[in-house]
């Protein structure tokens, strides 16, 4: 298994996990090792901080050992807000 394939599998697993966890709060998709999360503007305005904590906790809980970095791109549905979050690998080089 190549590193690219691992990266895509981890990103897909993370997007599936977040889809289940964040039901109704936004749309989640995965493409080429990147996880895309589109939220309602009202969700970004009122709960982004707690939502980010929830995402970090969930990823650390379900994927404590990560061999790759994964990029999480968060946008609002009006395209006025854009945030890139890197989910770092946990393996030492």
Of 73, 75, 15, residue with least CA distance to 39 = 75
Residue with tokens 């707690």, as numbered in its chain: 50
Contact (Cβ atoms closer than 8 angstroms) between residue 74 and residue 85: yes
Domain architecture of the chain: domains with CATH:
3-87 (3.30.750)
Q: How do residues 17-54 score in pLDDT, each as one tens digit? A: 988 888 878 899 999 889 999 998 888 888 888 889 98
Report, in angstroms and rounded to the nearest whole number, the Rg of the chain calculated over CA atoms: 13
Q: List pLDDT tens digits, range 46-83.
A: 888 888 998 999 999 999 998 888 999 999 988 888 99
């Amino acid at each position: 298994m190549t590193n690219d394939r691992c990266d895509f599998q981890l990103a897909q697993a993370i997007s599936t996990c977040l889809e289940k966890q964040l039901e109704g709060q936004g749309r989640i998709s995965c493409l080429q090792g990147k996880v895309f999360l589109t939220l309602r503007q009202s969700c970004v305005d009122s709960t982004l901080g707690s939502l980010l904590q929830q995402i970090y906790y969930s990823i650390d809980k379900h994927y404590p050992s990560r061999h790759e970095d994964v990029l999480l791109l968060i946008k609002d549905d009006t395209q006025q807000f854009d945030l890139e979050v890197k989910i770092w690998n946990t393996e030492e080089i």
